[in-house]
Structure 1
Amino acid sequence: MTEFDPAPEADTTERRWQEGTDTFGRVYEVALGVTDPTPYTEIAEIADCSPNAAKKHLERLTEMGIVRADRESRPARYERNEGYLEWQDASRIADELAVEEIIDRVERLEERREEYEEQFGTTDPTAVSVFDQEEHDTVHERMAAVSDWQGVLRDIRLYELARQLAQNDGHLIPA
C-alpha cells in the first residue's frame, strides 16, 4: 500500500455497545440522542436490534414520557422528550442542593435576566436582532449575549422546577 492509497474502511463489525447492554438499554440510549423525529427502523439499526424490538421498546419509552411518538407517519417516528430531560436535570438539582441554595441561585439568575432585558430593551431574547450592528465583533458579542440570556431563562425554569421538587418531597405539587 502506498501513501496515496485510500485509508482502509473501518471494521464495521466493531461493537458500539458495551458487553451486557440489553436491547432496551440500547434503544433507550439511542432515543435520548434523537433530536428530530426518526423512523423506528433507523433507531433499530443504530441500537443494533430488530425493528420489531425497537418499536416495542420505543412504545414503552413513549408510555414512560421519555420519548414522543408520531404514529401517523410511516414508518412511525420517535424523538426524545425534552421535558423529560429537563425534569431529570431538575430532579438532580433538587437532590444535590438545599432549598435555600436553589432559591439563591434563582435570585441571581433573575438578576442576570433583568440585566439582559435592560440591555436589549425587551423581555424576549428571540426579538433581538444580532445583525443590526456593522462591526463583526459587536455582532459576535450580541450573539453570545443572546445565547447566554436564553441559557439563563432555561436555568431559571430548571431551578424553579427543582425548588418545587425539593419543597414537595419530589412532587411538583404538595402531596
Structure 2
Amino acid sequence: MANSPTDGPPPFEDAFSGDDVEQQIYGTILQTREPVTASAIADRTDCDPKTARKYLSWFVDLGIVTQHDGHPVTYERNDAYFEWRRINQLAARHSLEELQQHVRTLTTTIKSYEDEYDAATPADVDALAVVETTVDRSIDDVYSDLADWMTAREERTRYERARQQRAGTADHEQVSG
C-alpha cells in the first residue's frame, strides 16, 4: 500500500499546523533558543499578535515561558521549568530503589571517565592532547566520550534530585501514615 503525501508526520517547518493556536504557540516557543517577540510567534503560527500575546502571557503565568520587558517585550522558553518537570516525572515514575540504582550506575560511569581521562570533569580534558598521545583514539571518539560523560553528570544530578524528592515524599508518608 503506497503512502499518500498526508501520511506520516508533518514537515518540520509546519510541524504544528494541525494543532490549535495554543498548541502551535506552545510548540513554537519550545523550538526557540533565544528571546522572540509576540509578533514573531504570531507570524510563525499564522495568528493575530494579540492572540499570541494572550497565550504567551498565560504560559508566563504557568512558568513555561519567561517574559523579558523591553521595547519590544520578548519571550523565551523557561528551561528551568522543563528541568523541574523532568525531575518530577522521574520521581513519579520510579521507585526510590530504582532512582538510587540509576544514581549508582551513573556514578560508576562518571568515575570510569574520570579515571580514563585523569580529570574531574569533561571540561578539564584537552581533547587534542588526548588524541596526540593515544594511537587508537580519534578526535570524534574523544568528543563522543566527553559528551557522554557530560550527559551522565547531568542525568545523575536529575536522578539524585528526583531521589531526594522521592525520599522526602516517602518520609512524609511515613510520618503522616
Per the normalisation by structure 1, the TM-score is 0.76
> Match of 1:27?
25
1:143 aligns with 2:140: no
Using the TM superposition, give the Cα deviation of residue 136 of structure 1 relative to its aligned residue in structure 2, in angstroms. Answer: 9.5
Q: Which whole-Å CA distance do the structure 2 matches of 1:41 and 1:168 have between them?
A: 44
Moved over 3 A (4+): 134-137
> Match of 1:154?
154
Number of aligned residue pairs: 156
Q: Which whole-Å CA distance do the structure 2 matches of 1:136 and 1:29 have between them?
A: 43
- RMSD (CA atoms): 2.6
Q: Which whole-Å CA distance do the structure 2 matches of 1:136 and 1:70 have between them?
A: 49
Equivalences for 1:31-46 in 2 at 5 Å? Answer: 31-46=29-44
Q: Which deviates the most, 134-143 or 94-103?
A: 134-143
Q: Which whole-Å CA distance do the structure 1 matches of 2:15 and 2:150 have between them?
A: 38
Distance 1:45 1:99, change over 3 A: same
Letter in 2 for 1:159: Y
Using the TM superposition, give the Cα deviation of residue 104 of structure 1 relative to its aligned residue in structure 2, in angstroms. Answer: 0.6
> Match of 2:6?
none
Richer in helix (by share): 2
Distance 1:51 1:160, change over 3 A: same
Contact 1:61/1:67 (8 A) holds in 2: yes
Percent of aligned pairs sharing the same letter? 26
Per the normalisation by structure 2, the TM-score is 0.76
Equivalences for 1:1-175 in 2 at 5 Å? Answer: 16-18=16-18, 21-72=19-70, 74-132=71-129, 133-134=131-132, 137-169=137-169
User: Which runs of 5 or more residues in structure 1 are unaligned?
Assistant: 1-13
Q: Which whole-Å CA distance do the structure 1 matches of 2:101 and 2:110 have between them?
A: 14
User: Which runs of 5 or more residues in structure 2 are unaligned?
Assistant: 1-13
Q: Which whole-Å CA distance do the structure 1 matches of 2:16 and 2:64 have between them?
A: 22
